[in-house]
Structure 1
Amino acid sequence: MANAVYPLYKQALLDASSNVDVNDGTVKVALIDTGTYTYSSAHDFYDDLSGVVGTPQTIANTTVTNGLLDGDNVTFTALSGNTVEALVIYIDTGVAGTSRLVAYIDTGVTGLPLTPNGGDVTITWNASGIVQL
């Protein structure tokens, strides 16, 4: 699978649906074991995910400029669990069934795949940003 913006996120943007504005919500990143989760263009909310490794972390200081989402690097502390092959960016509402999936990222990330060993893991975003619409 290649990196993708979830199609139902793009549709929600065009429809002006709820929970689409990264500036109004808490943007998080989840680490994903692709042995358990398979990307689907039909997925729209966090409750569609499986294979989440560790606890998703907030991406602080998110910005959007010319359709490019960017934010601070993220550290997962004392990470253990299954191998991580992908990241999912989502807007957390506090409810899995309304926390909208934004992007699936499995290529171009330094250090993926990674096998957690109980140490800290830092996700360093590309200098050009996290995801571009």
Structure 2
Amino acid sequence: MANAVYPKFKEALIQGSTNSSLGGTVKVALVDTGTYTYSAAHQFLTDLTGVVGTAQTLANKTYVGGLLDADDVTFSAVTGASVEALVLYIDTGTAGTSRLVAFEDAGVTGLPVTPNGGDIPVVWNASGIIQF
């Protein structure tokens, strides 16, 4: 699978649906693709399996020219299955309404990685996270 913005997120964004603003709390999760397979039909966090560690909140988000960027993140003391992808989502506090935004498994520095109890840093591409 190549990097993708979830089509259901695009639909929600175009329609101005509830929980489609990236201005809220956006998190990134480490994902084991041996357990999770990307699907264009996936819409909410309840569709996501294979999460490894604790999702991290994107800090200092910026939006310039349709480009989402934020500070790099660090997942602390990660244990569990191997990680081959990242999933960004809008966190509402409820999995059934937390909208999936993007799936990234290509061109992510440091992936795949096998957790060993240490930290896993995610350094975003210098050109940003997602271009809309």
TM-score, scaled to structure 2 = 0.98
Q: CA deviation at 1:65?
A: 1.4
Q: CA deviation at 1:33?
A: 0.2
Q: CA deviation at 1:66?
A: 1.5
The alignment's C-alpha RMSD in Å is 0.6
Match of 1:3 in 2: 3
Match of 1:68 in 2: 67
SS in 2 for 1:108: coil
Q: Distance in 2 between matches of 1:63 and 1:89?
A: 15
Provide Cα deviations, 1:64-120, integer angstroms capped at 9, x if missing partner: 112111000000110110000000000100000000100000001111000000001
Provide Cα deviations, 1:2-38, integer angstroms capped at 9, x if missing partner: 0000001000011110111111x11100000000000
Q: Does 1:88 align with 2:92?
A: no
Q: CA deviation at 1:57?
A: 0.5
Unaligned stretches of 5+ residues in structure 1? none
Q: Which amino acid aligns with 1:56?
A: A
Q: Does 1:43 align with 2:57?
A: no
SS in 2 for 1:13: helix
Q: Distance in 2 between matches of 1:56 and 1:12?
A: 22
Q: Distance in 2 between matches of 1:36 and 1:56?
A: 17
State the percentage of identical aligned residues.
68
Q: Which amino acid aligns with 1:16?
A: G
Q: CA deviation at 1:63?
A: 1.2
Unaligned stretches of 5+ residues in structure 2? none
Q: Which shifted more, 63-72 or 121-130?
A: 63-72
Match of 1:14 in 2: 14
Q: Which amino acid aligns with 2:18?
A: S
User: Structure 1: which 4+ aligned runs deviate by more than 6 Å?
Assistant: none
Q: Distance in 2 between matches of 1:132 and 1:45?
A: 21
